[in-house]
Structure 1
Amino acid sequence: MSVQSVLIDGRWRASSGRRTFRAVDPATGEELAEEYPISPWEEVEEAINAAARCFRIVRTWPGARFARFLEEYAKGIEQRVDAIVAAAHRETALPVTPRLREAELPRTLSQMRQAAEAAREGSWRRPIIDSRLNIRSQFGPIGPVVVFGPNNFPLAFNSVSGGDFVAAVAAGNPVIAKGHSSHPTTTRLLAEAAQEAAETTEMPPGFVQLIYRTSHEDGCRLVSHRLVGATGYTGSRRAGLVLKDAADRAGKPIYLELSSINPVFVLEGALAERSEQIADEFTASCLLGTGQFCTNPGLVVVRQSELGEQFLAQVRERFESSSPGTLLSAGVREQLASSVRRLVEAGAELVCGGHVLEERRFCFENTLLRVTGERFLENADVLQTEAFGNASLFVFARSVDQMVEIAEILEGNLTGSVYTDTSGTDDDGYDRIVPALRKRVGRLLNDKMPTGVAVTAAMNHGGPYPATGHPHFTAVGIPTAVPRFAMLECYDNVRPSRLPPELQDKNPTGRLWRYIDGTWTLGDVKPVGQGE
């Protein structure tokens, strides 16, 4: 079989690279037939230069042009649903239904259309006008954006269709997608739809480009290139920090989603009231997608008590009676085994599982560990190792005071949950734990497990390091995720006719929210000296 083409400068063409790779079917452990190129630096730089040429054309275009592209792209995906879902299933072993067809694909299309609406409506730019001083500012596109997608969401976080991609496009930027080696065919099919949409909506060559794989060194050169505006990355902490170091040294913005153990605090009143229900919720959350969610609850904190022991026993029963799912790759399986060993070496005890299953498919026993609160506090760095997969660590705290200590020492996470009873007996514990936990997590949940990230403007899918590289942004939620890929542009004493439409006195659409002279409004700028 011939080597698949790359998408560079508006056309599919043979790669100049000589090295290739194949994806692996996680359900069988066998290589798939399609062969994909590893792009050399010369090819990567061609993509960068093409994106830069494209940006010089589109950087002043109105948001409606990018909205048309995104809407046409969504239609193109809908026309290829069967092929895309089949490829994603073959490359990830994620179930066709309900996961891919009924959940992830609709989510992908929804965020794409939300991004189109944000691009057209324009309030994501946050226009600010001081009419007395005639100083006006707003966000504008930053330049070519590089997107590295993860292995666990082949559609909704894909480098050529996911949240980072649509946010970058909504901001008016060309995108260079660096595909994930686990699902290159899925990515190629999506990129074919994207390129067709780009041609239909008359986007310049280089607006969407796809390379499948590079050397680690060239990945660093890519994110630090002088013509690159910014980078979005979702993946492992180790690889992400290497890229961050390269981008930081070049002064280039890079938005990282890295690792998170998503602590869940379950208070005594909640256990007394509904421990069986919480055990069901936790098991469903932790084993969802074989635990390969960035919001997987990997740490549970309970009191050292009869109720705490009963709760662990209830969860153990559910873990042992559930068939382990398939992991995304051999690398995920090996890393999970290594993380569990590291937790045990740090003082955790295995409750169940803990071993690789000798099957053709990639799988690992459903695993629970436990440790005392004292030991956790003594060795918190190691005991916060992320076990990405179907595993979780229970911490038994001797008191609410120790729960607070644990919350204070936590690293940054995407989420943190607190389960309480409905009668109010846990209110004091909640009030003491949450002030500490609140500053360790991007999203705080009450009586709810963390898996499931709604695509809404109010969502924060981010958090303090090492959940992300910076706590001020979210990777999910339109339009709030869009300004990551923008720069703040200020206009001082610029003549009215030379201002962007969003900063002129008249509201260009009547729907654009602007901050004018200290007030958010949909109205026009009033002449200086004229009141309401």
Structure 2
Amino acid sequence: MTTLTDSSPNQIRAACEAASQAAPGWAAAPVVQRAALLRALADSLQSAREALVPLADEETHLGTVRLNGELDRTCFQLRGFADQIEAGRAQPVQDDPAVPGAPPAGRPRLTRIAVPVGPVAMFAASNFPFAFSVLGGDTASALAAGCTVVVKAHPGHPLLSRAVFELATAVLPAGVLQMVEGAGIPVGVALVRDPAITAAAFTGSVRGGVALWREANARPRPIPFYGELGSINPVVALPGALAANGAALATQLAGSIAMGCGQFCTSPGVVIVRDDEASQAFVKQLAEALAAANPHAMLNAAIRAGFNAGVARLHGRAGVKSLLALPARETAPGAHLVATDAASFLADEVLREEVFGPSCVIVTVRDAAETLQVLHAVEGTLTVTLWGADEDTADNRELVRAAQAIAGRVLFAGVPTGVAVTAAQQHGGPWPSTTNALTTSVGYAAMERFLRPVALQDAPGWLIAARGQA
């Protein structure tokens, strides 16, 4: 397997300096130009599909169907951000005219605008080699906001990273997109520490993300670090929903757990059910559906080793019953399902840790109060799914409040895998799912991470006019 050679400190410094030199010109570029270039990047990706998808499959084992869909999603994001900035989303203006008199009744004219923060460090993810990599959502949103980008390529797909980078630099002005390489920790640390970098975006492990977040905050001039770290995405399956549609929901949930071999940040890792007949029938159906799943090979040996260790810990815990522990099929792992009660889940933090792969923990609760206790114990998560909370009851209101307190996205139907790219999306949640619950890494609001508000007081007319013409 081809591996990336660690970029040297001089190469990292040169990449960051090139992005810094290009930053003023890119920030000042007319919106119509930035939008045209974003669309040109999408067109170039699509035109190179026949070469890029087989290369991605060789390096990630994700399958050509999935990878073609992911390439389409990446192109959709790029074009979507182009549409958004043409509509003025990257240049919001709040204008308060002057009012005669002294404060607080009177005031000067104040015009609130947004300016690009400057060069952004982007850490590519292993599990989405197109959509969260060199030209993925973080890069697209930063470019749309008017920021230059230095990508740290992921060592899980080095040849694809180089191919996409070459494609992109043939489209963009010189310096706007830079790339550094390597699996070594010093590469990421040097990138975050570089004085030219003004913000960082990361998708990956809790351990790696927390280390880089600390580096970002330890700089002489700290920078925002937008990290997506880990999530167990609880599903609360209420008795009414399971009594009405349990078999279909079990099949749907099994597909979500096994999707992409469980290597999604929104993969369901915990399912909360009641101790009743419909719920236990659902658990049996879920185990049967998972047993029939056929996960593909995992992204790399390190992730596979982490999965094996994680499920071994689950099966060995006190108060845990093993429902499914399928052996590996050649290079692909089998699915795993364990069950426990609320008291054991609350007492054992290992049961609340993300296991990256096709596994899930069933937690049986006695009542609504125990359901709330289990949710509160989860801490931060990207999603919570609530099946059966359709009626306006006191219990359902409490359940929704608890879900909103710990998650960035609350679902009332469907499964959490599959994250729509749209203006209303929120892909982020409280710690430890992300380092900043106020932002999203998916959807058009992702641009806001890389725009800094500035108030102009009694600004001259030419400056206000220039904002309107950009």
Do the two structures share a fold, i.e. TM-score over 0.5?
Answer: yes
1:139 matched to 2:114:
yes
Residues 449-495 of structure 1, C-alpha deviations (whole Å, 9 max, x = no match): 111101100011111111110110011111x1101012222212221
Structure 1 unpaired stretches of 5+: 1-30, 510-532
Q: 1:460 and 1:161 mapped to 2: Cα distance?
A: 20
- 2:419 corresponds in structure 1 to 453
The structure-2 alpha-carbon separation of the partners of 1:411 and 1:421, relative to structure 1 and needing over 3 Å to count, comes to closer
- 2:124 corresponds in structure 1 to 149
The structure-2 alpha-carbon separation of the partners of 1:273 and 1:283, relative to structure 1 and needing over 3 Å to count, comes to same
Which residue of the other structure, out of 92, 103, 110, is the alignment partner of 1:126?
Answer: 92
The alpha carbon displacement at 1:105 in A equals 1.3
Q: 1:118 and 1:447 mapped to 2: Cα distance?
A: 28
3-state SS of paired residue (1:137): strand
Which residue of the other structure, out of 15, 27, 33, is the alignment partner of 1:59?
Answer: 27
The structure-2 alpha-carbon separation of the partners of 1:214 and 1:447, relative to structure 1 and needing over 3 Å to count, comes to closer
Q: 1:126 and 1:337 mapped to 2: Cα distance?
A: 48
Q: Contact conserved, 2:118 with 2:147, CA < 8 A, in 1? A: yes
3-state SS of paired residue (1:483): helix
1:40 matched to 2:5:
no
Q: Contact conserved, 1:343 with 1:385, CA < 8 A, in 2? A: no
Q: 1:452 and 1:35 mapped to 2: Cα distance?
A: 30
1:237 matched to 2:209:
no
Give 1:190-201 correspondences, 5 Å limit.
190-198=164-172
AA aligned to 2:149 is V
3-state SS of paired residue (1:146): strand
Q: 1:148 and 1:278 mapped to 2: Cα distance?
A: 35
- 1:393 corresponds in structure 2 to 361
Q: Contact conserved, 2:61 with 2:296, CA < 8 A, in 1? A: no
1:175 matched to 2:142:
no
- 1:247 corresponds in structure 2 to 216
Q: Contact conserved, 1:418 with 1:430, CA < 8 A, in 2? A: no
Residues 191-231 of structure 1, C-alpha deviations (whole Å, 9 max, x = no match): 12111111xxxx2x211112221631331221122211111
Q: 1:276 and 1:463 mapped to 2: Cα distance?
A: 30
Query: TM (normalized to structure 2)?
Result: 0.93
Q: 1:270 and 1:118 mapped to 2: Cα distance?
A: 38
- 2:439 corresponds in structure 1 to 473
Q: Contact conserved, 2:46 with 2:71, CA < 8 A, in 1? A: no
Q: 1:487 and 1:214 mapped to 2: Cα distance?
A: 32
1:79 matched to 2:47:
yes
Give 1:212-291 correspondences, 5 Å limit.
212-213=181-182, 215-250=184-219, 251-291=222-262
Q: 2:372 and 2:53 mapped to 1: Cα distance?
A: 45
Q: 2:395 and 2:307 mapped to 1: Cα distance?
A: 33
- 2:401 corresponds in structure 1 to 435
Residues 284-314 of structure 1, C-alpha deviations (whole Å, 9 max, x = no match): 1111111111110110000122222211111
3-state SS of paired residue (1:294): coil
3-state SS of paired residue (1:252): coil
Q: Contact conserved, 2:262 with 2:359, CA < 8 A, in 1? A: yes
The structure-2 alpha-carbon separation of the partners of 1:292 and 1:137, relative to structure 1 and needing over 3 Å to count, comes to same
Which residue of the other structure, out of 172, 176, 190, is the alignment partner of 1:207?
Answer: 176
Give 1:308-387 correspondences, 5 Å limit.
308-347=279-318, 348-353=320-325, 357=328, 359=330, 361=331, 363-379=332-348, 381-387=349-355
3-state SS of paired residue (2:156): coil
Q: Contact conserved, 2:291 with 2:326, CA < 8 A, in 1? A: no
Residues 135-163 of structure 1, C-alpha deviations (whole Å, 9 max, x = no match): 212111111111101111111111x2100
Q: 1:323 and 1:77 mapped to 2: Cα distance?
A: 30
Which residue of the other structure, out of 453, 470, 484, is the alignment partner of 2:449?
Answer: 484
1:162 matched to 2:136:
yes
1:184 matched to 2:151:
no
- 2:102 corresponds in structure 1 to none
The alpha carbon displacement at 1:427 in A equals 4.8
3-state SS of paired residue (1:125): coil
Q: 1:390 and 1:332 mapped to 2: Cα distance?
A: 12
Query: TM (normalized to structure 1)?
Result: 0.83
The alpha carbon displacement at 1:500 in A equals 6.0
Q: 1:165 and 1:308 mapped to 2: Cα distance?
A: 43
Q: 2:469 and 2:6 mapped to 1: Cα distance?
A: 46
Bigger share in helix: 2
Q: Contact conserved, 1:443 with 1:461, CA < 8 A, in 2? A: yes
3-state SS of paired residue (1:323): coil
- Paired residues, what number? 458
Q: 1:318 and 1:137 mapped to 2: Cα distance?
A: 54
3-state SS of paired residue (2:421): coil
The alpha carbon displacement at 1:188 in A equals 1.4
1:297 matched to 2:268:
yes
| Identical-residue share of aligned pairs (%) | 31
Tell me the C-alpha RMSD between the 2 structures. Answer: 1.8
The alpha carbon displacement at 1:58 in A equals 2.6
Q: 1:59 and 1:161 mapped to 2: Cα distance?
A: 18
The structure-2 alpha-carbon separation of the partners of 1:87 and 1:154, relative to structure 1 and needing over 3 Å to count, comes to same
The alpha carbon displacement at 1:77 in A equals 1.0
The alpha carbon displacement at 1:421 in A equals 7.5
Q: 2:47 and 2:187 mapped to 1: Cα distance?
A: 35
Q: 2:156 and 2:6 mapped to 1: Cα distance?
A: 13
